[in-house]
Structure 1
Amino acid sequence: MNFFERQAEVRKASAKLVWLFVLAVIGIVAVIDLAVWWAIGFPTLDVAIGPLAIVTVLTVVTIGLTSWIRTLMLRRGGGGKVAASLGGVAVPEDTADPGLRRYRNVVEEIAIASGMPVPELYLLPHEAGINAFAAGWAPGNAAIAVTQGALDRLNRDELQGVIAHEFSHVVNGDMRLNIRLIGVLAGIVGLAVVGRVLLSGSGSRNRKNNNAGPLIIVALAAMIAGYIGVVCGRLIKAAVSRQREYLADASAVQFTRQTDGIAGALKKIGGLQAGSTLRAGKAEDVSHMLFGEGRKFSSLFATHPPLAKRIRLLDPAFDPAELEQLSHRWAAAPPSGLHEDQARGLAPVSEQHPQAPRSLQPPGRQQPMVQAQPRAVVANVGDPGSGSFAHAGTILRDIPEDFLIRARRADTVVPLVFGLLISADNDTRVRQYHALAARHGQPVADAAWNEGSALTALDPALRLPLSEIAFPALRHRTSEELTAIGASITELVKADGNTSIFEYCLSTLLHRDLHEAIHNNPPWRARHTSLHRSHGVVATLFAVLARVGHREPGAAEAAFRTGLATTLPGVQLPYHPPPQGPFALGAAWPVLDGLPGHDKAKLIEGVVAVIGSDGAMTVEESELLRTVCAVLHCPLPPLVGSQTAAPRSG
């Protein structure tokens, strides 16, 4: 199952959730209406229709409004609000704790390798069980949280497996489904709370008024119906989430290319007394989002598959009796993840990377090129290949440590991001300086000027990854500050009237991510359409890409035709590169982002065919490809040799 098929499965699961919710509401309404009919003495239908209609409307409004408000609150708060509700604390950018630095480094590696924004990091410091979850409405406001038990007990491979499992939920769109589940259950539980309040009030009223009996019956029915709804809600959670957990385990293995990590984490859950249990009072709300069971449920209500079954799917030789042996061994001496890393030859995790020689390069050095095969690239969307994780680790090691430190700090990240866009041309540089000073003050402008000078020697292939690492610290600002930062980015890009591909890619990705961080949605409303109704927009995209990658008009038009033949075979469209260059794509994104999954796959094949029509892809072209995929919400891992090789036949 590829990325686009998994996205379709999530949409089916969302539709299933809606129908199950509707059926639960119908059942609850029926129970309450029956109670009301009984309370008013079983009158004829023409007499009862008025009271029953009022009760039905009030019941539906109570459930629907509670669900909507709860979902809206979670959307606006992002994943961090969910983590904070369980006692989570944000991981400091400048932490010296080896476990937290290892945690941050693993998350950054996986984010870069998967082509996703780096999420916020949270720790649940009072939880001894091994657990984790990803939460958020969109990748731009996602957060990943792990328990203290996970940091203490898991070695690096096991932590990678757990984090990769959670990232699969982000990539596959499960986070939004999980938030909807919380909202649905809040509405059903809300009815039970209303019934309990009415019952309490009617009880005191009954002591003063003997006519309060009907109200007691209605309140009791509302409370009973609400708790029946809670049972239905738990069944809904179990039905929706169990299969997603199997898929997330498989995706984590595919991502890390080894089963020992995630299987080892599951064995530690089964062998340690704390298991994966969470003590937080709201653990029930997020039980379907967790890596392991946060509460003990019967098999009927379990949100996760049986632990032994999950392990056996990863390790066919596993014997469940092994958990009992591990439990006896670890009762006296619980495992330490950091000590296990040291025993395996890994240094205590300061995560201070030695700098590789390719991290800095003189301007003008010829950029490396990779081969590009359209179907192979599409197959890697949402599915990092065997080299992606190792390549992401290399990227992090290659970025100088002082840049990484400033990218992770809230007080230095803004000048660093501005510095990535500071021009080498002195006149343009001066205009950019004055624009920043006018909007943000002279200290920020001075810092950005210095960052621009320092960043000129950074390998161009590392500039976008550095901006991705900077994103979590960047979004720790008010919406007004983020809006001002976005406006400054646009002004810096347009200062010289000649936008480079890197400038366009960086500004586009930052604008999208900042907008999602503020508004929980991309800067446009996707228009649901199809490729065959979007010929003009597809032609604009391919014309821009062809013009960027080919200086000769004849070669550019040939590349354009290659893309059309791939995506829209048999369709003939004129080649007219828009004069505004990449900025013409702003009007195309709402249409292209609204394409169904199989059409997006065909579109990406065409994009690869256009920019790789000469048989190779430069760093600039690969950045543009990743930007197009990111804007379409189709995360593409960094392109490395074997990932772009043509698939072998036979």
Structure 2
Amino acid sequence: MNFFARQDLARRRSRRLVVLFVLAVAAIVLAVDFLFLLFFGGMGTASDPGSLAAGLLLATLLTLGIIGAGSLYRLASLRQGGAAVATQLGGTPVPEDTHDFHYRRLRNVVEEVAIASGVPVPEIFVLEHEAGINAFAAGYAPSDAAIAVTRGALDKLNRDELQGVIAHEFSHVLNGDMRLNIRLMGVLFGILILAVVGRKILVYGRGGRNKDGVPLLLAALVLMVVGYIGLFFGRLIKAGVSRQREYLADASAVQFTRQTTGLSGALKKIAGLPAGSKLESGDAEEISHMLFGDGIGFSSLFATHPPLVERIQALEPSFRPAMVDDLVARWQMHPPSGLDEDMAMGLASERPPLPGQHAELLVAPPAVVAQVGTPQTDDYVRAGSLREALPEVLRQAAHEREEAVPLLLGLLMASPGPVREAQQFELAARHDERLARQAMDYADRLEDLPRILHLPLAAMAMPALRRRPRPELERFMDSCFALSHADGRISLFEYCLGRLLRVHVRDALDPAGAWVPGHRQLSRCAPQAITLLAVLAQAGHADTASAMRAYMAGLARVFPRLDAPYRPPADPHRALDEVWPVLDEVNPIGKELLLEGLVAAISHDGHMSVSEAELLRAVCASLHCPLPPMLEQPR
């Protein structure tokens, strides 16, 4: 199952969640109506059918109102995305400039996994008061994602094991699971609120001794009982939605990190240590379906995760349940320390060299499509090489709140000349002279930075950028647009990078309204797809004949029966501005076919340059189809 199939599955799961929620609400309403009839129908009101019917209608509307208001309230409180969930559980943000070894190791691992995935680096939190080994990813989209790990995970897991856990959580980020998870939190709160309201009425209504207070107390009892019936169904829904996804996330993590020992080692430590993966927070149940391991300890009926032994056996078939006792005995004598294990194994790992600026990559459209949202075996290692290849001054700037804006704007600057001077004027008009000079300084530093490092640098700067005030982020998006359209003479890569930054910031400003997989049929978007193919073919070839051959190769993949002559737009940037909103709403299966056509157009002669590969990555990321940094080994 590739990225596009998983995205389509996530859409179907969202519809399934709606159906299950409606059924659960209907069951609750029926239960309330039944109890209303039982209590009030037997108290003499049966002789007045009109009053009974009015009371029944009022009970139904009141129940629906409480559930709806509770769900809307909870969803509104989660509109700020993943960071809101992590903060609610007491998460401590990991500073970008931290010197704490555990924090630094965690940040390095998360950055490398994000770069390898082709998505922005998420915000990182640590649940300092949790001794169990656990983690979760929260948010509506990759642009507003947050990763949180427990202190137990930091202390007890070595780097390989931490890497396996983070890769597991990133699979939820890439597969669209996070949006489903956060919606699940909101709608189930509406069901639970009935029990909370009923309990509060009972507590505050105990002092009522007259007969007039009896119906109120009975109503409160009904709400509380029915609320816990709703909680029962809610737990069943969470278990049904979550369990199978954990197997898929484990498999994705193994594919990502090249080995099973990291992930299985983390699971073994959960099985063999007293704290396991349990969370002490009172909010643990609400996020139980989002966790790496079972944080509550539900029975098999309500379990949101498969049994630990089964998860380990899926990674290591030779593992036997009796081995858990051996792990318990070993770690009772010598509790594990991730730091000590890292030192024993050696922290340094060999990094492969990066391809040269003029290297050519051997690619095939189906193979590239298979890599979207699905990092391959060497992508994690390549991501570490990319991060280490960035000059220290640029890495530090990407981590600093005050430097992120001018650094990213510097990435969009054209080469020295009239266009860059026009860009500087635009920045000074929108910000001030100081920021414009900073951006120019970074543009000079970035002049010789290989193209393959631009997207990783932008990904690393996203956490610092998100913490800027909203008005400044809105000016930043406006500046990205202005720089990307300066005289229409900047490179297509810089244009696409500018749009990509705007998309990431827009999604971060409005997490609840962030992008979701679309429903458009590709056949209905043929003009826009043809325009994109023509622009890419034109950008990658100096002569018209070669560009036409590239265009026809892409068109044959996407629309084999369509006769559409090669007519590149006179103003490619303006033409693409009209293309993106339409193509971004194409359904996952249509995007898969479109991407095959784009790869065929760029690599029609059987190979692709590093610059062309980075352009393809920027285009795909703009369409919410993240590609890893290594499309194939250089020739």
Does TM-score exceed 0.5, indicating one fold? yes
Kindly provide the CA deviation profile for residues 438-471 of structure 1, in whole angstroms up to 9, marking residues without a partner as x.
3323332232222122221212221121111111
Q: Distance between the aligned counterparts of 1:6 and 1:382, measured in 2?
A: 10
Matched, 1:72 2:76: yes
Equivalence for 2:8 = 8
Q: Is the 8 A contact 1:168 1:252 kept in 2?
A: yes
1:49-84 per-residue CA deviation (whole Å, 9 max, x = no partner) reads 22222221221121122112212321x221111111
Distance 1:177 1:198 in 2: 32
**Equivalence for 1:255:** 256
Equivalent positions of 1:71-150 (< 5 A) are 71-74=75-78, 76-150=79-153
Question: Offset of 1:283 from its aligned partner?
Answer: 1.0
2:207 alignment partner, SS class: helix
2:507 counterpart of 1:503: no
Match of 1:196 in 2: 199
Inter-partner Cα distance in structure 2 for 1:442 and 1:455: 20
Q: CA deviation at 1:112?
A: 1.1
Deviation at 1:527, TM superposition (A): 6.2
Partner of 1:383: 374
Task: Provide the rounded CA distance (Å) in 2 between the counterparts of 1:384 and 1:316.
Answer: 24
Give the whole-Å Cα distance in 2 for the aligned partners of 1:548 and 1:571.
23
Compared CA separation, residues 496 and 599, structure 1 to 2 (3 A): closer
Residue 534 of structure 1 aligns to a residue in which SS? helix
Q: Does the Cα contact within 8 Å between 2:481 and 2:499 map onto a contact in 1?
A: no
Partner deviation per Cα, 1:333-386 (whole Å, 9 max, x = no partner): 211112111111225xxx9x99x9979xxxxx9632212211111111121122
**Aligned to 2:606, which of 610, 615, 626?**
615
CA contact (8 A) 2:517 2:588 kept: no
Q: Would the alpha carbon gap of residues 322 and 18 (structure 1) be closer, same or farther in structure 2, given more than 3 Å must change?
A: same
Mapped partners of 1:9, 1:358: distance in 2:
35
| Equivalent in 369, 385, 390 of residue 399 of structure 1 | 390
Out of 587, 593, 597, the residue aligned to residue 588 of structure 2 is 597
Sort the Cα spacing of 1:21 and 1:251 in 2 relative to 1 into closer, same or farther, 3 A.
Answer: same
- Are 1:36 and 1:217, in contact at CA under 8 Å, matched by a contact in 2? no
Residue in structure 1 matched with residue 30 of structure 2 by the alignment: 30
* Maintained 8 Å contact 2:144/2:508: yes
Structure 1 residue 633: Cα displacement: 2.0
Is the CA contact 2:130–2:280 (under 8 Å) kept in the aligned structure 1?
yes
Other-structure match for 2:314:
313
* Residues 28, 229 of structure 1: 8 Å contact kept: yes
Q: Which amino acid aligns with 2:630?
A: L
- Is the counterpart of residue 541 in structure 1 residue 526 in structure 2? no
Q: What CA distance in whole angstroms lies between the structure 2 residues aligned with 1:521 and 1:183?
A: 12
Residue 482 of structure 1, aligned match among 473, 485, 491: 473
Work out the CA distance in 2 between the residues paired with 1:264 and 1:456.
44
Q: Quote the Cα distance in structure 2 between the aligned partners of 1:269 and 1:523.
A: 34
Distance 1:177 1:444, change over 3 A: same
CA offset at residue 201 of structure 1? 4.6
User: Separation in 1 of the partners of 2:513 and 2:285?
Assistant: 31
What secondary structure, in the 3-state scheme, does the structure 1 residue paired with 2:148 have?
strand
Q: Is the 8 A contact 1:32 1:218 kept in 2?
A: no
Does structure 1 conserve the Cα–Cα contact (< 8 Å) formed by 2:122 and 2:146?
yes
- For 1:362, the equivalent position in structure 2 comes to none
- Tell me the distance in 2 between the aligned counterparts of 1:418 and 1:506: 10
TM-score by length of 1: 0.93
Q: Is structure 2 residue 178 aligned with structure 1 residue 175?
A: yes
Q: Are residues 377 and 614 of structure 1, via their aligned partners in 2, closer, same or farther at CA, if it must alter by over 3 Å?
A: same
| Structure 1 unmatched ranges of 5 or more | 360-364, 646-650
Distance 2:548 2:19 in 1: 49
**Given that residues 126 and 148 in structure 1 are in contact (C-alpha distance below 8 angstroms), is that contact kept between their aligned partners in structure 2?**
yes
Please show how residues 232-247 of structure 1 align to structure 2 within 5 Å. Answer: 232-247=233-248
Is residue 528–residue 591 contact of structure 1 (8 Å, CA) maintained in 2? no
- C-alpha change, 1:388 and 1:506, in structure 2 (3 Å) is same
> What's the CA shift for 1:588?
1.9
Question: For the Cα contact (< 8 Å) 2:480–2:499, is it kept in 1?
Answer: no
Separation in 2, partners of 1:427, 1:534: 37
C-alpha contact 1:39 1:218 (8 A) present in aligned 2: no
Report SS of the residue matched to 1:492.
Answer: helix
How far apart are residue 179 of structure 1 and its match?
A: 0.6
Match of 2:508 in 1: 517
Name 1:421's counterpart in structure 2.
412
Report the residue type matching 2:57 in the other structure: A
Identity of paired residues, percent?
52
Residue in structure 1 matching 2:61, options 49, 57, 61: 57
* C-alpha distance in structure 1 between counterparts of 2:514 and 2:222, whole Å: 46
Once residues 299 and 592 of structure 2 are traced to their aligned partners in structure 1, the CA distance between those partners, rounded to angstroms, is 41
Distance change in 2, residues 1:526/1:135 (3 Å): closer
Could you tell me whether the CA contact under 8 Å between 2:132 and 2:276 is conserved in 1?
yes
**Aligned to 1:617, what secondary structure does the other structure show?**
strand
Distance 1:334 1:55 in 2: 56
- From the superposition, tell whether residues 22 and 357 of structure 1 become closer, same or farther in structure 2 (CA, over 3 Å): closer
SS in 2 for 1:641: coil
- Quote the offset at 1:34 in angstroms: 1.9
1:623-634 mapped onto 2 (5 Å cutoff):
623-634=614-625
Aligned to 1:453: 444
Question: Residue 109 of structure 1: CA displacement?
Answer: 0.9
CA distances 1:181-234 after superposition (whole Å, capped 9, x unpaired): 1112100111112222333454433x1x31333332222111100011111111
CA distance in 2, matches of 1:588, 1:427: 28
Question: Given the superposition, is the C-alpha separation of residues 525 and 154 from structure 1 closer, same or farther in structure 2, using an over 3 Å criterion?
Answer: closer
- Matched residue of 2:536: which SS? helix
Q: 1:19/1:297 Cα in 2 relative to 1: closer, same or farther (>3 Å)?
A: same
The 3 A distance-change label for structure 1 pair 175 and 49 is same
> For residues 131 and 203 of structure 2, what CA distance do their matches in structure 1 show?
38
Aligned Cα root-mean-square deviation (Å): 2.2
Residue by residue over 1:521-563, the C-alpha shift from the partner in whole angstroms, topping out at 9 and shown as x without a partner, is: 6788986321222221111111111111122222222222211
Judged with a 3 Å threshold, the aligned counterparts in structure 2 of structure 1 residues 96 and 18 are, in CA distance, closer, same or farther, namely same
Secondary structure of 1:123's match?
Answer: strand
Does the 8 A contact of 1:89 with 1:123 survive in 2?
Answer: yes
Q: Which residue of 2 aligns with 1:532?
A: 523
Amino acid at match of 1:393: G
Task: Name the CA distance, whole Å, in 2 between partners of 1:357 and 1:274.
Answer: 41
**Residue of structure 2 in register with 1:220 after alignment:** 221
Shift in Å at residue 46 of structure 1? 4.9
Any gaps of 5 or more consecutive residues in structure 2? none
In the alignment, structure 1 residue 184 sits paired with structure 2 residue 187: yes
Query: 1:415·1:445 contact (CA, 8 Å) conserved in 2?
Result: yes
The residue type equivalent to 1:67 in the other structure is S
Equivalences for 1:534-613 in 2 at 5 Å? 534-613=525-604
Contact preservation (8 Å) 2:156, 2:336:
yes
Q: Which moved more, 1:613-622 or 1:270-279?
A: 613-622
